Structure 1
Amino acid sequence: MAADRLPHIVLFSGGTACRSTNLALCAKPAQLTRIVPAWDSGGSSKVIRESLDVLGVGDIRQALMTMAHGEGRAGDIVKVCNARLTSSSAADARTEFALYAESHHPLLERMEPGLRGAILNYLRTFRAAIGTDFDFRNGSIGNFILAGAHLAHNSDINTAIFVFRKLCDIAGHVWPSTAESSVGLSAVLNDGTALSGQHEVTALGEEQGRIGIREIALSTAAGAPVAANEAVIESLESADIVVFGPGSFYTSILPHLLVEDVVPAIARNVHARRVFIGNILQCRETRGLDVAQLLQTAAAVWRERGGADVRPFTHVLANRQLLPFEKTVGAFAYLGNGALEEACMRLGAEAVIGEFEDPWQRGQHDGSAVADIIGSLLPE
C-alpha cells in the first residue's frame, strides 16, 4: 500500500446490521466503500421499482445516510434526505410531499438556492414520472430524490449516487453491486419450495426457516446474467481489505457473489485481506445454522463463480461462545460457531474469535470492536 494514500476498505453489507460497523469505520483514517443489494423487493422500494422500472434505491439511500451520520453531516440537506412522510392518510402524505416539491418546506426555504434547485428538480422529475395514483405514505424523501436523480441522469444510477453524495457532502462511496434495474432474488428451500423476491426470503416463517434454504439465485427480467456495476469492480480491484457482513446472509451478503465478475475481481486482488464477519444472532434465513456452515456455503458459491484457485476468506470474525447451551434474544438464538476451527483450516482462513456483541444492545455488533479488528488486519 502506497504511503501517500489512505487504505481502502470495501464492505459487502446489510442495512441495519452493518450500521454500527459502518459508523465506526467512518472514524478511521481510511477510504470506505459500501456495496449494497440492488434486489430489494419490499416496502417503498418495491412500489418505486414497479412504478418506474428502476432498481431498488432504499438500501443505497440508507447506506448513504449512515455514511453521512458517521462523517458528522447533519445539515438541512441531510435532514431532508433522511425525512419520511406521514403514514396517516394518502391525502396528507401527498400534501406533505408537495411541501417539499413546491419548496414550501422550512428546510428547503432556508437552503442555498443552487442546492435547493437541484433537490426540487429531482423531486419534480420523480413526481412527473410516478403518476397521480402513487401512495406517498411513509415514503422516504431521500428515496424520491435518488429515484428522481436516477431518471434525470438517463437511468445512470452511478451518476445519481455521485450527485446525491455531492449534495450531502458525503465522502464515503456507496454502490449497488449491479446497475440492472430488473434484477430479482429467488430461493429454493430444502423441501423444494420456491420463493420469489427478497421480501419472501426475509419473511420466512418459523417452519420454513427450520426447513432451510438450499440455494439462491439472481436473475433479470430478460433472463440474462446479472452484470456487475463497473464502479464495484473498480472498488474491488483497488481494495486493501474486502469485508463480508454483518448482514442477512442469504439476502444481503451471499447474493453479491452471484453477480457476474464479482468473485473474479476479488480473486485478482491478491494483496487484499478478505474478512467474513459472522452475525451475532440467527435470523429467519439462518435458523439452526452456525458460522461454520455459512462459511462452507459461501465457499461453495465462491468456487462455482470462478474463485476456485484462491481461498475465499483470509480471516473469519466470530463472536465468542460464552455458554454451553442455546441462548435467545427475542425470537432468535445466538448464532453458534460450530466446527469453526476445522472449517477455517479447510479454507485456509484464520479464525478471529472475540467478544463482538454490543454491551448495550443485545444481539448486535459492537461496531468499534469490529472496526478495530478490521483496521488491524489491513496489509502493511
Structure 2
Amino acid sequence: MPDSTKDTPTIPAERRRRISLTQTRTVPDPIRLARYIRAPEIGPKVLFFSGGTALRDTSRVLTEYTHNSVHLITPFDSGGSSAVLRDAFPMISVGDLRNRLMALADTHLLGHPEVYRLFNTRLDKQAEASRLRARLDAMVAGTDALVAAVPTPLRKLIRNHLGFFAEHMPADFDLRGASIGNLILAGGYLNNRSDIDAVIFLFSKLVAVRGVVRPVVDSNLHLSAELEDGTVLIGQHVITSGDSRLSAPIRELRLTTVIEAPEQLAEVEIDARTAELIDEAELICFPVGSFWTSVVACLLPSGVGSAVARAECPKIYVPNCGEDPEQLGLPPHEQVRVLLEHLRRDAGEDTPTELLLHFVLVDSSRADYAGGLDIDSIEAQGVEVIDTPLISDKTAPLIEPRRLVELLLSLV
C-alpha cells in the first residue's frame, strides 16, 4: 500500500509565517450564537478572571452556549465560612470555588441534583454547637436525609471527605452558618495533601460541571490594601466590607503571607496549567464584580500579565454598572488604567495595549457608572469602547446576563 505521507509537502520552520486577519463582527451575532447553542460541548474557551458571586447568573447562562469556559478564581477570601476554615487550617479559600462550581453544574440530566442541594446547604446560624455537631455526625454516618438522598458511590465519597474534615476539625470549630459544600471541599483538600485540582476534578464529575474552575494560584495568602490616606487594610473581608465605606480610594493591592502582619509581603507565581489555560483562551474577560478583590487580585501573581499578553485572542473589560464600594474615586477610564498598569507589571512596562486589552463593554444609555463614563478617556488609552444595550428592564440597574454572554461570545 503506498505511503500517502510521502506526497504531503513539509514546510520548513524558517518558512512558516504567522498572519493577522482583521474581521468585521455583528454583535450580537445570531448565526454564531445559534451554532454554539446547538453544540455547547464544543463551544469556545472563554476565560474569566473573577471571584465572588457577581458572575453566578452569567455563568449559568453561559453553560447553554459552551461547556468549555474557564474560571480563574481568587482564593484569598478571609470572611464568612471561608474565614472560619482558614483560621482552623492552613488552606486557600474554597467558598468562591464552590460557588462557581455550583453555578456551572448540570442540575438536571447529567448532574446529580441531590449533590447540588447538599453542596448549597448551610447549617443553622442560630443553633447550639451540640446540635450542629450532631447533624454533622449524622451526615458523616449517612443518616442525614440530604446525604442519604445522594446515590452510591457518590455518597461514600462525600461521607469520606466530610468524615475526614469532622475528624480533624478543632474542638472549638464554629459550625454556625457553615456551608456544607465548603466543609466537603475542605475535607477533600486536606485528605488529598492540599491538592485542590484533585478535589475540584472529583466534584466537577459529581455534579457535571460544564466548564473549568480553578484558583488562579493554590497558595494560602491574604490581600492587603493601602489607601490614598495611608491606611492599610488587611484581609479581603475588611477591604470589601459592606459595613463601612473606605476612608479613601485604594492606592495599592498586595499579597501578604500572614493576615496579622501586612509587612510580610508575598511573591507567588501561577503554575504551568494556569498559564496553559490562559494561552489557550479564545477570549479573555475581566468581568463585573468587586474590582480590586476579584479582578485585580487575580492579576497579582507573577506570570498572569505575560500569559495574557501572549494569548492571541480578544481581551475585554466589563465595568460594573452602578456602585462598587471598592471603586471609590475610580471611574471606568481609571479602572482601565489600573488594569493595564497591573498587567504591564508582569508583561513589561513597554507592552503595547493591543496585547493586553482590546474592548470595554458599556451601556451609556442605562448604566450609572460611578464617577461618570468618559468614553474619550478610555479610547485615548488605545482601547475600543463597545457601547451597547447591556441592561434590561428586568435586571436594572445590573447587566442582563444573557445579553452579556451573547455579546462576549459574538466576539470569539
TM-score calculated relative to the size of structure 1: 0.89
> Deviation digits for residues 48-89 of structure 1, max 9, x if unmatched?
011011100001001101111688745111111111111122
CA contact (8 A) 1:246 1:278 kept: yes
Task: Please state if 1:317 is matched with 2:356.
Answer: no
Matched, 1:251 2:286: no
CA gap 1:41/1:303 in 2 versus in 1, 3 angstroms: same
Pick closer, same or farther for the CA change 1:205–1:141 going to 2, 3 Å.
closer
Look up the match of 2:120.
Answer: 82
Q: CA offset at residue 113 of structure 1?
A: 2.4
Query: Which of 333, 343, 347 is the aligned partner of 2:378?
Result: 343
Aligned residue in 1 for 2:81? 44
Kept after mapping to 1: 8 A contact 2:67/2:211: no
Match of 2:393 in 1: 359
Given candidates 97, 103, 106, the residue that maps to 1:60 is: 97
After the TM superposition, which residues 108-187 of structure 1 pair with which residues of structure 2 at under 5 Å, given as runs? 108-181=147-220, 183-187=221-225
Among all aligned residue pairs of Structure 1 and Structure 2, give the percentage whose two residues are the same amino acid. 30
Q: Decide whether the 8 Å contact of 2:361 with 2:386 is kept in 1.
A: yes
Shift of residue 219, structure 1, vs aligned partner: 2.8
SS at match of 1:107: helix
Which residue pairs with 1:233 in the alignment? 275
Q: Which residue identity does 2:126 align to in structure 1? A: S
Q: 1:268 aligns with which of 270, 289, 310?
A: 310
Do 1:185 and 1:219's aligned partners in 2 also have CA atoms closer than 8 Å?
yes
Mapped partners of 2:256, 2:375: distance in 1: 32
Gaps of 5+ in 2: 1-38, 259-263
Deviations 1:248-301 (A, max 9, x none): 0010001111111011111111x2111101101122111343111111111111
Structure 1 residue 98, shift from structure 2 partner: 1.9
C-alpha distance in 1, partners of 2:208/2:67?
A: 17
C-alpha separation in 1, matches of 2:366 and 2:124 = 44
Give the letter aligned to residue 254 of structure 1: V
Bigger radius of gyration among the two: 2
Work out the CA distance in 1 between the residues paired with 2:203 and 2:132: 23
Alpha-carbon distance in structure 2 between the residues aligned to 1:91 and 1:361: 42
Q: Distance in 2 between matches of 1:263 and 1:54?
A: 25
Q: Which of these residues, 210, 213, 218, is aligned with residue 255 of structure 2?
A: 218
The partner residue of 2:61 within 6, 10, 24 is 24
The 1:94/1:30 distance shift into structure 2, 3 A limit, reads closer
- For 1:294, the aligned partner's letter is Q
| Counterpart selection for 2:236 from 187, 193, 198 | 198
The verdict on how the C-alpha distance between 1:70 and 1:113 changes in structure 2, with shifts beyond 3 A counting, is: closer
- Given that 1:206 and 1:284 are in contact with CA atoms closer than 8 Å, whether structure 2 keeps it comes out as no
Q: CA deviation at 1:114?
A: 1.3
Asked if 1 retains the 8 angstrom alpha-carbon contact of 2:106 and 2:207, the reply is no
Matched letter for residue 240 of structure 2: T
CA distance in structure 2 between the partners assigned to 1:82 and 1:98 by the alignment: 18
SS in 1 for 2:326: coil
AA at the equivalent of 1:344? E
RMSD of aligned Cα (Å): 2.3
SS at match of 2:72: strand
CA contact (8 A) 2:378 2:385 kept: no
Give the superposition deviation at 1:26: 1.1
- Equivalent pairs, count: 364
CA distance in 2, matches of 1:250, 1:7: 27
Q: Secondary structure at the match of 1:35?
A: strand
SS in 2 for 1:93: helix
List alignment gaps of at least 5 residues for structure 1: 328-333
Partner deviation per Cα, 1:358-379 (whole Å, 9 max, x = no partner) = 422333220000001101110x
Q: Give the deviation of 1:340 after TM superposition.
A: 2.5
Alpha-carbon offset, residue 231 of structure 1: 3.0
Partner secondary structure for residue 54 of structure 2: helix
Q: CA shift at 1:149, angstroms?
A: 0.7
When structure 1 is superposed on structure 2, of 170-179 and 212-221 the one drifting more is 212-221
CA distance in 2, matches of 1:274, 1:252: 17
